[in-house]
Structure 1
Amino acid sequence: MTMMSVTFEVMFRVEAEVESGEVVCVVGDCDRLGNWDPHHAVVLSRESSIPGQCRKNNQQMENRCDKENRKTCDVWRKKVKLCGMKNYNYRYFVCQIIESDSEFTERTVKVIRWETNILPRVFSPADYMKDPGKYDAEIMKFGEYEIHGISIGGKNHVTNGWLTDQSEIHIRIHGNPIRMWKPKYRKQTYRIKCTPLDQRYKDHLDEDEEEDEWGTHVSPPSTFTKVLVSTLDERHINHCVQSESGTIFEAGSYMIFTAETTEPESLGFQFDFYVNQEGVTPKHIGYCYLLPVDLKKSNDTKTVPITGLNHKPIGQIDLDYLTVKPVPGLDLKMDVSYQNYWKFERKSLDVGHRGMGSSYKHKKLAAVRENTVQSLQDAANHGADYVEFDVQLSRDMIPVIYHDFHVAITYRKKKRGELEFYQASVKDLKLSELQSMKLAHASRISDNDRDDIHEDDIDPTDLQPFPTLERVFEAVNPATGFNIEIKYPQEKVNGEFEEINFYDRNKYVDIILRVVMRTAGHRRVVFSSFDPDICILVQRKQNKYPTLLLTNGEDVEKYVPYLDLRTRSIDMAIYFATFSNLLGIDVLTSTLFRNMDKIEKVKEAKLVLFCWGEDNNDSNAINTLKQKGVDGIIYDRIDFFKSGDKSVFQVEQEQTERILMSAGLLSPTDTLQNLEPSFGSESEVNS
């Protein structure tokens, strides 16, 4: 028998905290372990069950406020046959599984949470053969492991799952949305409870059953869906189980009900209103509905009537919703995830703003046109750790790099033949039109100096605007990280819309994500957006790259604030990022300089902090921000303010390669990039 034909019956055994209906699975890098695909993972069997909490190992679980859940601390196990002497990489995850009734469709898998340490667990046949009994008897702890005595990634990581087969619906109540018509109800404080309604029941109940079983104002609740509640304040940032009489809604606050379902077209919601008085049992006074017919778009705001218990209307409420759907056909694996990982001990990162800097406004700081291949590559050549750029879609739905929603195109007047500028939307022009027409920045419309309007644009291709996202991934040094800002128009507090009749959010994000997932390779990627809903979609639709919320903070002088409450302060940005499991926030620097204590507050929330703005274009400001521990600083003209021509990642890789070569673990002709991905082009093992 050769060594390659050796077969091992490996016992996978782990302790994990689960809820009713959840199971534990193992997934890995071979056919027997599903090739990192959660749909083909090995389902473990429950060995024992102990009421109560497991040994805690991650902050996310400690912060959960769903105390009414009945969880158990279970040990799960399964023997799997593995062949050969190669090492096997694997991870554990907790999920819900619905087996398919058809042989042509896969089972539905909803990943609840999974181990996301930078390096996966490893089964070594050589180590196993030394003491099989010890290995089989070991009970591992979900989320906790070491390799050769080293804690992988510096700490234990367990990350919430992403949308695999299910959709997620957010119902938001914020500001002052409740308008009661009777004076006695107007000054009351209300508790609100949201109950899911599964409309699939409606064809199975006759009129008598509906009246007797559910009452005259209650529809049958969904037995397949759980609704959790959150408030973007100090009360319930995390998803919480609702109490019998709901959660208090305070005027000016932001409340979110969240539900996941595999059939969003059948899911509706009932909202019950209770008068809240201290020391008195909450009084039920009315209800309203948000039905599937109301949830046709990705997002919208609905004003619905509140009906009293006597079946007469007593008021109305504004309900804002967002539906997040999985990306069709996007094949997401579980080999690695950086969504909630950051190497905090690393020094502050230098991020090139739109490449080498803004070139259209102010003093035309950049030597080359912003958001072009040349600008991004020049920043990379001058040692930028990341380059920041803006992505939106052309009319033919191709992701292009450009900052503003509008451009100025030239047209000739009927009389005198004079050329003038006309403002056009980027979304209304095809890629071929954007790249071939003589375009100017929208600010040129009010510019009196138009001597260059008759000149030809003969710049080389890499200096031309509107490179595609795919082209940028191919052309820019792969050692340079990408901070991809996804543009999406919003309404401002003055009633102005940045753009109208824009793309559906789900479709918009799906197109951009497909390009990124197909072309990113080993490049570091961080997404960001000023639109909180875009951040939610990006975070929930994929499982690999992290997301930052961009915010102006409290600065109302430089920019007109957005209407969305989640964008208007650093505190709200912190609450939102925590609720959405984002990596962190990206704040306008002028806001930080007015209140430097906010930097520490972001750190206390265990969030990554980037900053942006013209204030960063100063060496003293950059040094101050670095001393305060800001994780990423976005500024113009990397060539002026950063010394050296290598990014911190290139320097770290070269240092690691030297160490491995001196230890005989890497040949002089090899590099970390050539090693298998599980070893990590990131090389984030903390010694």
Structure 2
Amino acid sequence: LYAAQAAVHNLLPTEDAATRMFASWMTNVSSPFPSEAALELANDSCRQLHLRVQAVTLHGETVFVCGSTPQLGEWQVARALEMHLEDPATKVWGVKVSAPLHKTLEFRYFIGILLENSNVIVRRWETVRQPRTVSANELTMDRNAAVDMFGNYDGEDKVEPGWLTTESIVHLKMFDNPIVLWKRKYKSVPISYHITPIDLSVRNSDAGPICDESDQHSNTSDFECVKWPVIEIAVMKEQEYEFKKQNQFGNVYAPEDFVIFQAQVMDSSSIAYKVDFYMHRSTDEASIPENIGISYILPGNMQGTFGTCTVPITGTRHQPVGQLNVSYLIIKPLADYSCNCRETYSKFWKKTNRSLDVGHRGAGNARRTDKVENVLENTVASFNYAAKHGADMVELDVQLSKDKVPVIYHDYHICICMKKRKSPLQEEEKLQLAVKDLTVAQLQRLKLSPSVHDSHHYDFREDDLEDNQPFPTLQHVLEAVDPSVGFNVEIKCPMQFRDGTWEMDLNLDINLYVDIILRTLLDYSGKRYIILSCFHPDICTM
């Protein structure tokens, strides 16, 4: 018995746990080995680990660890464990956690913002495909002595921006000479502009403003006055295309630049934006520029998910001195869906020298007639034809029908045949309709006319089998096509031409448009590899 008890002590980390297991063993004296319940108790035993990571954070940001155990949130970022800054000089964050004694602990670090309402905003996270691990046979002393580098492990260094959890994102885009100043003296000197978010819901209460604006036209900006909302800037050119914190006096204006301000907010309808304009009389970076005006972009200026607005620039003497033209985009999170951070294919690509064979719209032609299989593009038959002939992936085009069902079809419009009444020659007239104006049932009942488009011949036939008929739903394609074939899902969305006209009126909130397609993919894609693509930059951002 003493030998058995000593063996148990070697197995378990504490004397109490050993005693409990030994008692459980002795309740079944007929068995020479510990019972399953006793072994389960041993497997559930834990050891204390000290996780430490070196990470550079911005004002208001904190490092979190999320992992496979309940203490680490079981991969749910809302339940992730907050770390503490142990050494400001070396930027090392740490926290003590309990790790299973006989199981591998999996975890990731991410940088986020913890709001007062306990919402966790994911700012940046490690995106090496597999998570970090601490194996059962790794010595506690060695693990506790280690300091991880944020985003760097398994020979890779990958950090990506986070995803939306409960917050929204507002993009304010300035391009094509967006700032117009009427006074000549402003046209010969550098001008910069800085944007500050203003929480109107706080202003309407007794809590006071989020920033001190006792002097709206002072030479000091509201620099780092709060950690939330977050606002960052990116300029669409080399070295500046990644979002970063604004300079104290903002971005120097260049009429040809394409500038995007990104604001992370909880409620876009309660946030206004103050734009300060500064004139730089001196080239000395240490000199303080002069505030020459101010603009306000109010929630009422932004109607709908995207659009444009023009607001006046008011000078220091409260008279208009110019105007500001802004395009905006409001991005909302996918409702009732929680992403976890266990595994990620963000920016992932297999390390191989072999190129991929991708079937364009399936078999590659509008209608494949050069083989025995006579298949039409963007159909189940076409996708399975590509799979049968060795395609790694197929590309398909997705848009929404009138009843908001994702369907597979390339063009925005279709031509249907209309027979003329009382015509002895049975002449047919072609009528063009938008796919978005017909339900799935109506689309699948249509008799379509052959047409020539972009040098492809679209030859629709009534005697085609069901899988070779146009307008299959995305759900049906996900379920009926060989699961070993990956999908490049191109989201069709009308774009604006340079003259201001559109390919087609969407008449649907693009947040809802994208959410419906995403939810279908999440619900029915299974283990199929999916790439999302689109020519519309706002859809790509979303």
In the alignment, is residue 51 of structure 1 matched against residue 89 of structure 2? yes
Which of residues 512, 516, 525 in structure 1 aligns to 2:517? 512
Separation (CA, whole Å) in 2 of partners of 1:5 and 1:24: 32
Separation (CA, whole Å) in 1 of partners of 2:332 and 2:254: 30
Cα deviation, residue 45, structure 1: 3.6
Report the CA distance shift for 1:163/1:476 in structure 2 as closer, same or farther (over 3 A): same
Cα deviation, residue 446, structure 1: 13
Q: What root-mean-square deviation, in Å, do the aligned CA atoms of Structure 1 and Structure 2 show?
A: 3.3
Tell me the alpha carbon deviations over residues 470-493 of structure 1, each in whole angstroms, 9 at most, x when there is no partner: 111111222211111111101223
What is aligned with 1:399? Answer: 406
In the alignment, is residue 97 of structure 1 matched against residue 102 of structure 2? no
What is aligned with 1:564? Answer: none
Which of residues 4, 9, 28 in structure 1 aligns to 2:47? 9
Q: What secondary structure does 1:293 align onto? A: helix
In the alignment, is residue 88 of structure 1 matched against residue 105 of structure 2? yes
What is aligned with 2:528? Answer: 523
What is aligned with 1:624? Answer: none
Q: What secondary structure does 1:439 align onto? A: coil
What is aligned with 1:409? Answer: 416
Contact in 2 for aligned 1:286/1:307 (Cα 8 Å): yes
What is aligned with 1:267? Answer: 271
Q: What secondary structure does 1:510 align onto? A: helix
Report the CA distance shift for 1:108/1:440 in structure 2 as closer, same or farther (over 3 A): farther
Separation (CA, whole Å) in 1 of partners of 2:238 and 2:282: 20
Cα deviation, residue 412, structure 1: 3.2
Q: What secondary structure does 1:513 align onto? A: helix
In the alignment, is residue 295 of structure 1 matched against residue 302 of structure 2? yes
Q: What secondary structure does 1:213 align onto? A: coil
Cα deviation, residue 390, structure 1: 0.7
What is aligned with 1:136? Answer: 144
Cα deviation, residue 252, structure 1: 1.8
- In the superposition, the TM-score normalised over structure 2's length comes to 0.83
Report the CA distance shift for 1:240/1:45 in structure 2 as closer, same or farther (over 3 A): closer
Separation (CA, whole Å) in 2 of partners of 1:483 and 1:209: 44
Residue identity opposite 1:178 in structure 2:
I
Separation (CA, whole Å) in 2 of partners of 1:422 and 1:165: 45
Separation (CA, whole Å) in 1 of partners of 2:213 and 2:527: 60
Contact in 2 for aligned 1:26/1:90 (Cα 8 Å): yes
Map 1:183-194 to 2 at 5 A. Answer: 183-186=184-187, 189-194=190-195
Count of aligned positions: 493
Contact in 2 for aligned 1:179/1:186 (Cα 8 Å): no
Structure (1 or 2) with the greater helix fraction: 1
Which of residues 473, 477, 480 in structure 2 aligns to 1:475? 480
Report the CA distance shift for 1:446/1:227 in structure 2 as closer, same or farther (over 3 A): closer
Report the CA distance shift for 1:207/1:229 in structure 2 as closer, same or farther (over 3 A): closer
Q: What secondary structure does 2:326 align onto? A: strand
Map 1:52-451 to 2 at 5 A. Answer: 73-80=91-98, 82=100, 85-98=102-115, 100=117, 107-125=118-136, 127-128=137-138, 131-146=139-154, 151=155, 155-186=156-187, 189-204=190-205, 213-215=214-216, 223=226, 224-276=228-280, 279=283, 282-359=289-366, 367-414=374-421, 416=423, 418-440=427-449, 443=452
Tell me the alpha carbon deviations over residues 298-331 of structure 1, each in whole angstroms, 9 at most, x when there is no partner: 1111111111211111222210111111100112
Cα deviation, residue 435, structure 1: 1.0
Cα deviation, residue 9, structure 1: 2.5
Report the CA distance shift for 1:207/1:434 in structure 2 as closer, same or farther (over 3 A): closer
Map 1:613-628 to 2 at 5 A. Answer: none
In the alignment, is residue 34 of structure 1 matched against residue 73 of structure 2? yes
Report the CA distance shift for 1:178/1:390 in structure 2 as closer, same or farther (over 3 A): same
Residue identity opposite 1:426 in structure 2:
V
Tell me the alpha carbon deviations over residues 453-512 of structure 1, each in whole angstroms, 9 at most, x when there is no partner: xx9612111101111111111112222111111111012235542101432111111111
Which of residues 490, 503, 514 in structure 1 aligns to 2:508? 503
Separation (CA, whole Å) in 2 of partners of 1:3 and 1:212: 65
- In the superposition, the TM-score normalised over structure 1's length comes to 0.66
Residue identity (%): 35
Separation (CA, whole Å) in 2 of partners of 1:98 and 1:201: 15
Residue identity opposite 1:393 in structure 2:
L
Q: What secondary structure does 1:79 align onto? A: strand
Q: What secondary structure does 2:203 align onto? A: helix
Q: What secondary structure does 2:60 align onto? A: coil
Report the CA distance shift for 1:484/1:206 in structure 2 as closer, same or farther (over 3 A): closer
Separation (CA, whole Å) in 2 of partners of 1:277 and 1:367: 72
What is aligned with 2:7? Answer: none
| Structure 1: runs of 5+ lacking an equivalent | 53-72, 101-106, 538-687
Q: What secondary structure does 1:51 align onto? A: coil
Separation (CA, whole Å) in 2 of partners of 1:378 and 1:278: 68
Separation (CA, whole Å) in 2 of partners of 1:183 and 1:20: 39
Contact in 1 for aligned 2:217/2:293 (Cα 8 Å): no
Q: What secondary structure does 1:349 align onto? A: coil
Map 1:532-681 to 2 at 5 A. Answer: 532-537=537-542
Contact in 1 for aligned 2:367/2:375 (Cα 8 Å): no
Report the CA distance shift for 1:243/1:143 in structure 2 as closer, same or farther (over 3 A): closer
